[in-house]
Structure 1
Amino acid sequence: MTTPTLTVDGPRLWRSLMDLAAIGAYDDERTGLRGVNRLALTDADAAGRRRVVAWMEEAGLTVRVDRMGNIYGRREGTDPTAAAVLTGSHIDSVATAGAFDGCLGVLGGIEAVRTLNERGIRTRRPIEVAVFTEEEGVRFGTDMLGSAVAAGRLTLEYAHALTDRDGRTLGGELARTGFDGTEDVRLAPPHAYVECHIEQGPVLAGSGVEIGVVTGVQGISWQEITVHGRAAHAGTTPTRLRADAGLAAAHIIVRLRELVDSGEYGDLRATVGHLIVHPDLTNIVPARAELTVDLRNPDDAQMARAEEALAAFLRELEESGPGLSVTTRRMAKTAHVPFDEGVQKVIAQAADDHGLEHISLLSGAGHDAQEIAALCPTAMIFVRGEYDGISHNPREYSTPEACAHGVDVLATTLLRLAGQD
């Protein structure tokens, strides 16, 4: 018998997205648009979490919270011994976000459950919707944090001890916001995991299709570099006697671009997203510079070569003149993660059955799916974004129709996976 497709209530899904976007909303002066600032475990994030928990409970889900603050809403299946099919994402944001990153996956999962309820469909396997803590990594410095602890790559103790720039610990903020749950953080292996997400890139729009079947996630390397120099008077200190930490930081940024442009390290991408100098005064040569380096590469061997090339340059920088020294701190590193071909086929068939054209593509961004892939067969559904797929920006946008179509594919995929033996 042919498994039915599920078509969700698109306007209801859109209302949920817009209602959640109002929590942590701000007026962005650069774009003139309404953005979202909902950093992990801030008051805004806590308010958003409470809203999502309420929606889960209204949809009949049984909610539990683990010791990392990860939230799971469970819809029971007819076989209480069967492993669940898991879906979800995150609702924490960067400081200048749009309404869709992460949220589409969480709210899409809830919408899929609502649709199953309304159609009176019972599944053999349970279905769970997850909200993972601190996926973005912008507050506590490690991305995919909640899912990494749930999957066992990082320890709970490590995560709880992480601090933000004001010295607040993640463990303390879990307690402050009321999301220091009591459930075991190690996730029992699900039957499968599927995550629906806005693409955050231009591929789908450029190809004229709405659905992406994601084949995997490229490798990601984050590190913090601190350059130690020597403070000096800007007017009285000759250039030859300076140990300028700000100048050294500029050399690092230029060298990273040279590594990318050389073509010697495959499809390398490099970004310095944070840079600050101390004492940060107009007429003082910087004594210290702090910067973060984000490297991305779909080839792990090429990534390792690029990291070594950067390390060699940092050694050369230290030797270039007296008074300069460099220290580094690893913030996060994940290897290229290929997704399960079987789950990809279920997604592709669901898209075909909904009459939606699709293509396969690799994710350039990191996602909770890459962590959960260590536990069970995993794949992702990408939804087309507008404006060249811009993301981490208030201009991030996907149409109501595209979001609904993506969640149609998600709901149908979940239904079919939850019926598997």
Structure 2
Amino acid sequence: MSRAATNLQIDSARLWGSIHETAKFGATAKGGVRRLTLSEEDRQVRDWFRKACEDAGLEVHVDTLGSMFALRKGRDMSKPPIGIGSHLDTQPTGGKFDGILGTLGALEVIRTLNDAGIETEAPICIVNWTNEEGSRFAPAMMASAAYVGDFTVDDILSRKDAEGVTVGDALDKIGYRGETKVGTQKFSSFVELHIEQGPILEAENRTIGVVDSGQGVFWYDGRIVGFESHAGSTPMPLRRDALLTLSQFALALEQIAIRLGPNAVGTIGEAVIQNPSRNVIPGEIAFTIDCRSKDADTLDALDQSLRAAAAEIAARRKVEIAIDLVWRKPPTHFDPKLVDAVEHAAENLGYSHRRITSGAGHDACNLNTIMPAAMVFVPCKDGISHNELEDATQADCAAGANVLMHTVLALAGVAS
């Protein structure tokens, strides 16, 4: 690699400006971002991103699930490109960095290579994956899951949000149902930059997390059916209260995760009483469960323990508890050579770093099932993410983009 490429640094101010410029699309009063996938705000940021990529000389195409691919040519176009990027959609009360840093950091890598006049041997392709968050449509990471063959395109297009709008209809409404067949764009590897979404790097004062694995995820839809009755005239011992049952089940989930810890977590993130009324004992509740571990055996133990607890509690409280597994993502173990490449880039740039497991799921975890993949983490303030308070420093964001760029240069090669 040439001395110019070896010493190359991204434009920190330009990356920081891009992050805050795109934060306008869906900006919230508390300083966060609400940009649900395939919403009008998502269309706005997609239009911004398309123009920015085209201004950087990239060829942009969109597949039938709305994922955006921006290709920078290499000297040898017979080689498949190095994939970089992440996503631009957010949680309902999201922040400025989750996914956005990875996508705009990838754009900054390309802009920096352009400014330095550096041609790579292999091409490079930025990706904005559709619906990574899963907050409007389930499952999360649906576009990259379809890309690797975990779901059919027709299945994903038919998925509905809470209002009954399908993915296909939402794509059409914002004009982002592309013509390119899902999976057409091939990659030799994929590297994703992201905030940690946890507290470890900040607590240890490390700048870079070299991600070597990712937790597996089980998602469930749950339902409790008890019996609605008068809140004033039904004695406590005779009640079949769905809400109190859920409360007991939630505490059981907590204890199961603690018992199977430290590498196990469980969360009930949604709960909706059917036909709620102030003076009626809840008779039916729908709820969701999210269980995670980096160990497959631990996930299986979580599943078995949850089902046993549900059966015991249901029998004791004389209600029905149904928990249906709707998504299963096995633990990820990233490609060792790519993980080493990330680590070498961090070392060569002089950044403090450590190996780390991703607590959250990412598109790179899906892609790792069919190609070498890796991730670069940077700290986020107090480990907070999926929250309007989500924050990261300009210096750490720049460091992560620099590690991404030098990892990509090592993979793509610099044309002589």
Q: Distance in 2 between matches of 1:141 and 1:75?
A: 32
2:388 match: 394
1:93 touches 1:101 (CA, 8 Å); kept in 2? yes
Whether 2:314 is the aligned partner of 1:312: answer no
Secondary structure of 2:76's counterpart equals: coil
2:258 touches 2:265 (CA, 8 Å); kept in 1? no
Which of 14, 19, 22 is the matching residue for 2:21?
A: 19
Number of residue equivalences: 413
2:118 match: 121
Q: Distance in 2 between matches of 1:158 and 1:168?
A: 14
Structure 1 segments, 4+ long, off by >6 Å, are none
User: Once the 2 structures are TM-superposed, how far is the Cα of residue 273 of structure 1 from its aligned partner?
Assistant: 1.1
Q: Distance in 2 between matches of 1:48 and 1:311?
A: 42
Q: Distance in 1 between matches of 2:146 and 2:133?
A: 14
User: Once the 2 structures are TM-superposed, how far is the Cα of residue 6 of structure 1 from its aligned partner?
Assistant: 2.6
Secondary structure of 2:407's counterpart equals: helix
2:307 touches 2:323 (CA, 8 Å); kept in 1? no
Deviations 1:253-274 (A, max 9, x none): 0100111222x45521011111
Secondary structure of 2:328's counterpart equals: strand
Q: Distance in 2 between matches of 1:214 and 1:188?
A: 25
1:358 match: 353
2:274 touches 2:285 (CA, 8 Å); kept in 1? yes
Secondary structure of 1:232's counterpart equals: coil
User: Once the 2 structures are TM-superposed, how far is the Cα of residue 317 of structure 1 from its aligned partner?
Assistant: 2.9
Secondary structure of 2:32's counterpart equals: strand
- 5 Å matches for 1:59-98? 59-98=56-95
Q: Distance in 2 between matches of 1:291 and 1:140?
A: 16
Q: Distance in 2 between matches of 1:232 and 1:420?
A: 72
Question: What is the CA RMSD across the aligned residues, in angstroms?
Answer: 1.5
2:120 touches 2:413 (CA, 8 Å); kept in 1? yes
Whether 2:374 is the aligned partner of 1:383: answer no
Q: Distance in 2 between matches of 1:176 and 1:330?
A: 31
Whether 2:109 is the aligned partner of 1:112: answer yes
**In terms of mean alpha carbon deviation, does 411-420 or 244-253 score higher?**
411-420
Q: Distance in 2 between matches of 1:67 and 1:201?
A: 33
Which of 245, 248, 252 is the matching residue for 1:251?
A: 248
Change beyond 3 A, Cα 1:188–1:279: same
Deviations 1:211-269 (A, max 9, x none): 1110010111111101112211111222233221111111110100111222x455210
User: Once the 2 structures are TM-superposed, how far is the Cα of residue 25 of structure 1 from its aligned partner?
Assistant: 0.7
Whether 2:238 is the aligned partner of 1:241: answer yes
Secondary structure of 1:113's counterpart equals: helix
Question: Normalising to structure 2: TM-score of the pair?
Answer: 0.96
Secondary structure of 1:197's counterpart equals: strand
User: Once the 2 structures are TM-superposed, how far is the Cα of residue 303 of structure 1 from its aligned partner?
Assistant: 0.6
User: Once the 2 structures are TM-superposed, how far is the Cα of residue 150 of structure 1 from its aligned partner?
Assistant: 0.9
2:209 match: 212
Whether 2:366 is the aligned partner of 1:371: answer yes
Secondary structure of 1:295's counterpart equals: strand
Unaligned runs of 5+ in 1: 28-32
1:219 touches 1:297 (CA, 8 Å); kept in 2? yes
Unaligned runs of 5+ in 2: none
